[in-house]
Amino acid sequence: MLRSGILLALLAPVFAQQYSAPLRGFPVEDRKAQQELEEHARAIPQADRIRVYMERIASKPHQAGSPASKAVADYLAAQLKDWGLDARIENFEALMPYPTVRVLEMTSPVKFRAELKEPALAEDPSTSEPGQLPSYNAYAATGDVTAPLVYVNYGSPDDYAELRRDGIDVKGKIVIARYGRNWRGVKAKLAQENGAIGCLIYSDPRDDGFYQGDIYPKGPMRPEEGVQRGSVLDMGLYPGDPLTPGWADEAGAKRLPQAEAKSLLKIPVLPISWGDAKPLLEQLGGPLVPEPWRGALPITYHMGAGPAVVHLKVDFDWTVKPLHDVIVTIPGTVDKDRAVIYGNHHDAWVNGASDPASGAAVLMETARTLSTLLRQGWHPKRTIVLALWDGEEFGLLGSTEWAEKHLQELQRGAAVYINSDNTGRGALAAGGSPSLETFMSEVLRDINDPSAPRSLLEAALAAARARRPRATDTPEFHLAPLGSGSDYVAFLDHLGVASLNLGFAGGDAGVYHSIYDTMEWFDRFSDGSLAYGKALTQVMATSILRLADAPVLPFDFASLERAVRVYTDELQRDAQKRPGALDLRGVDTQLARLDTAAKDYDDQLALTMKRVPPPAPEQLAKVNDILQKAEASLLSPQGLPGREWYQNEIVAPGLYTGYDAKTLPGIREAVEAQHYDEANQQARVVAQALRALESKVEEAARLLK
Ligand SMILES: [Zn+2]
């Protein structure tokens, strides 16, 4: 056990004040010991060790499906076992196309053949490692097309509306969109839906190149030949292996024929550098583009179509390849069928020092921190699962297949899922389920900001104040709603597990998904000292200790109610601008009832936490069971309209925004499509979910008595 006397003597002067701070879910008399344990845990992480894992993970290109990805998984598992942890590799399979043919040329009015090559840099030896996957968009269709070119700005629904107003039809054409704003998969999907037969996506220097700062290697931004790889799987329908929607792809599993996989695109798509895009854009005529469509190239931007005619030919090896998830289980001692899960992917498009090694290394150091505590005699009350996912870049493959395989046990016992991905040295970005806002703010209150003498909570509140300089009310801490873009999706949207996504802002836009995302880049332009990596390890270790050991799971349903009310008000305001009648009275009524239930629960929890002796473990187990089910009652079994894999009624990635979250997605997307019957039907589903939640919250309060 911990020699808490010595520890306390060392730490008491600095932290005495903190011991009286609230700790949701802990009896008053346990708080001091818990915060002592956490303080002890936060002293374990070391920046130097984080660097070792990062260098190892990012030393070679290691895309999912390759032997190099398996080698990374083997290294991670061996290291975890070395610390005495129960680590294993769970293998899955998935369709993972690699490129075999990539041709892009302009056939008229002038001939030009695109290089499609990111040059290695003498200043950065990692950029010349063998085994790099050429630049491409995974899950674009095989195709060979020739057509006039049209510039579509970011390729959003509004951009296509603008083109229509200018009399430009993209039907039968090849479009060129720039990266940024919306997710690339949405650009490709909208190109297809608007009738384009091919799609190019390029990185304009205005968004992540010389317009923003010096280019690599002089500065952090994207060089002329830099290309953003990435998936164009239609993850708005469902993530994971396109051939096994809703079930796990293991060796011998039933698979859809490729032609029936709805998340696969039907047109060829290719990402290119601005170096390759400029000659094409220069040969566009037609209307001048509106001012906001203009990038930073020294050309006059026109819409087209043509006179540039381009020939695009791509092909892939459409094979199923292996995935290797590394999973650690630390069994709980009291509430052992319930688990706190923390995951970060390990696969990369190329070397991936920032994405994902920076986050994966933090997970490893968190694992070492927990293993150190275990050796010192601590054991978690709940089970802790640590996961290093494979295949995230292709479409959240490793996490989705794992969640689908373990669906029933996760529905029964997954209390919270915590995710991280690339992390840098900017402000802390914290997204997640609103029921975890109080919990998260209490964690951040207890951790130092690596850049200033203040807590991470104070830093977050200062940032909130800076965003709204004229607001007079004191800023509050809020978690941003989660859309998509990393491995929490299956847990939050398919299983209804309360989730968090945490990391320091990266500043890695200029090298994102390119051969230039290397340790050399990270050292010079991101968290080279790993002070932020260490702070994120402290955040993760503290969060996990607290979630694993809190006698009562720290969900706050008053925060959840407040958040849903904000979303409802937004919808109401939005709908007033449009014709048609949106009726949210049922949702309003339920929110009022939930508010009352949440306050009653909070009063009861406060009483229980002061009670001596505290409630018996069997009683608390029942309460926690109900609390976990409360969160899951936000799922509807029929799912969202047209995409039944997504079952969370409160949040989902937008069908036409991608990474950005849509709150109350069923209602909102119907309102946006001006289908008010469907919107009102969806409002009834939301009201029903809130009613189910309310009854669980009431039950939890009763059980605490
Ligand atoms: Zn990532």
For residue range 635-678, what is the model confidence (pLDDT) as tens digits? 999 999 999 999 999 999 988 876 788 999 999 999 888 899 99
What is the pTM assigned to this prediction? Answer: 0.95
- Calculated CA dihedral for residues 11, 14, 15, 21, nearest 10 degrees: 170
Instruction: Using alpha carbons only, give the angle 357, 360, 362 rounded to the nearest 5 degrees.
Output: 110
Contact 93, 332 (CB under 8 A): no
Does residue 306 sit in the same domain as residue 325?
Answer: no
Q: Is residue 7 part of a domain?
A: no
321 C-alpha vs ligand 1 centroid, how far in Å? Answer: 19
- Provide the total of helices (H) and of strands (E) in the chain, helices listed first: 22, 18
Q: Which of 520, 549, 578 delimits the end of a domain?
A: 549
Does residue 538 sit in the same domain as residue 397?
Answer: yes
Q: Is residue 34 part of a domain?
A: no
Q: Give the model's pLDDT for residue 581.
A: 83
Contact 515, 127 (CB under 8 A): yes
Strand-pairing partners, residue 342, are 386, 418
Q: Which of 318, 334, 351 delimits the end of a domain?
A: 318
Does residue 544 sit in the same domain as residue 573?
Answer: no
Q: Is residue 236 part of a domain?
A: yes
Strand-pairing partners, residue 201, are 177, 271
Q: Give the model's pLDDT for residue 19.
A: 52
Q: Is residue 67 part of a domain?
A: yes
For residue range 413-425, what is the model confidence (pLDDT) as tens digits? 999 999 999 999 9
Contact 344, 363 (CB under 8 A): yes
With a cut of 60, say whether residue 10 has pLDDT above it.
no
Q: Give the model's pLDDT for residue 12.
A: 41
With a cut of 90, say whether residue 474 has pLDDT above it.
no
501 C-alpha vs ligand 1 centroid, how far in Å? Answer: 12
Does residue 503 sit in the same domain as residue 568?
Answer: no
Q: What is the 3-state secondary structure (H, E, C) of 612-626?
A: CCCCCHHHHHHHHHH
For residue range 148-205, what is the model confidence (pLDDT) as tens digits? 999 999 999 999 999 999 999 999 999 999 999 999 999 999 999 999 999 999 999 9
With a cut of 70, say whether residue 396 has pLDDT above it.
yes
Does residue 141 sit in the same domain as residue 204?
Answer: yes
Alpha helices in 468-556 (DSSP H): 489, 519-525, 531-549
How many whole angstroms separate alpha carbon 197 and alpha carbon 145? 7
| Amino acid code (one letter) for 236 | G
Q: Is residue 464 part of a domain?
A: no
Does residue 189 sit in the same domain as residue 217?
Answer: yes
696 C-alpha vs ligand 1 centroid, how far in Å? Answer: 35
Does residue 288 sit in the same domain as residue 345?
Answer: no
Q: Minimum mean pLDDT among 30-39, 193-202, 568-577, 645-654: which range?
A: 568-577
Q: Give the model's pLDDT for residue 687.
A: 97
Q: Is residue 625 part of a domain?
A: yes
Query: How many structural domains is the chain composed of?
Result: 3
Q: Give the model's pLDDT for residue 656.
A: 81
With a cut of 50, say whether residue 16 has pLDDT above it.
no
Q: Is residue 235 part of a domain?
A: yes
Contact 500, 486 (CB under 8 A): no
Query: How many C-beta atoms lie closer than 10 Å to residue 166's C-beta?
Result: 12
Does residue 680 sit in the same domain as residue 568?
Answer: yes
Q: Give the model's pLDDT for residue 20.
A: 64
CATH at 672: 1.20.930.40
Does residue 188 sit in the same domain as residue 304?
Answer: yes
Give the total residue count for the chain: 705
Q: Which of 318, 338, 360 delimits the end of a domain?
A: 318
620 C-alpha vs ligand 1 centroid, how far in Å? Answer: 37
How many whole angstroms separate alpha carbon 325 and alpha carbon 343? 10
Q: Is residue 12 part of a domain?
A: no
Query: How many C-beta atoms lie closer than 10 Å to residue 337's C-beta?
Result: 12
| Amino acid code (one letter) for 611 | R
328 C-alpha vs ligand 1 centroid, how far in Å? Answer: 20
For residue range 50-60, what is the model confidence (pLDDT) as tens digits? 999 999 999 99
Query: How many C-beta atoms lie closer than 10 Å to residue 367's C-beta?
Result: 26
486 C-alpha vs ligand 1 centroid, how far in Å? Answer: 6
Is the alpha carbon torsion for 94, 95, 96, 98 positive or negative? positive
Which structure tokens are listed for 25? 């879910």
With a cut of 90, say whether residue 410 has pLDDT above it.
yes
DSSP β-ladder status, 428-432 and 304-317: unpaired
How many whole angstroms separate alpha carbon 652 and alpha carbon 646? 7
Contact 323, 94 (CB under 8 A): yes
426 C-alpha vs ligand 1 centroid, how far in Å? Answer: 17
659 C-alpha vs ligand 1 centroid, how far in Å? Answer: 13
For residue range 94-150, what is the model confidence (pLDDT) as tens digits? 999 999 999 999 999 999 999 999 999 999 999 999 999 999 999 999 999 999 999
CATH at 312: 3.50.30.30
CATH at 514: 3.40.630.10
Q: What is the DSSP letter of 214?
A: P
Mean pLDDT of the chain: 94
Contact 515, 132 (CB under 8 A): yes
Residues 6+ positions from 198 with CB-CB distance below 8 Å: 143, 145, 147, 174, 175, 191, 267, 268, 269, 310, 312
What kind and span of H or E run contains 326? strand 320-330
Does residue 435 sit in the same domain as residue 510?
Answer: yes
Cβ neighbourhood burial of 126 (10 Å; 0-12, 13-18, 19+): buried
344 C-alpha vs ligand 1 centroid, how far in Å? Answer: 8
End-to-end CA, the chain: 33
Give ion ligand 1 contacts, CB < 5 A.
Answer: 355-356, 421
Does residue 575 sit in the same domain as residue 607?
Answer: yes
**Mean pLDDT of all residues in 278-302:** 97
Collapsing DSSP to helix, strand or coil, 473 comes out as coil
Does residue 423 sit in the same domain as residue 512?
Answer: yes
DSSP β-ladder status, 498-504 and 428-432: antiparallel
268 C-alpha vs ligand 1 centroid, how far in Å? Answer: 24
Q: Which domain holds residue 345?
A: 46-95+321-439+481-549
Main-chain phi, psi angles of 529, to 5 degrees: -80, -10
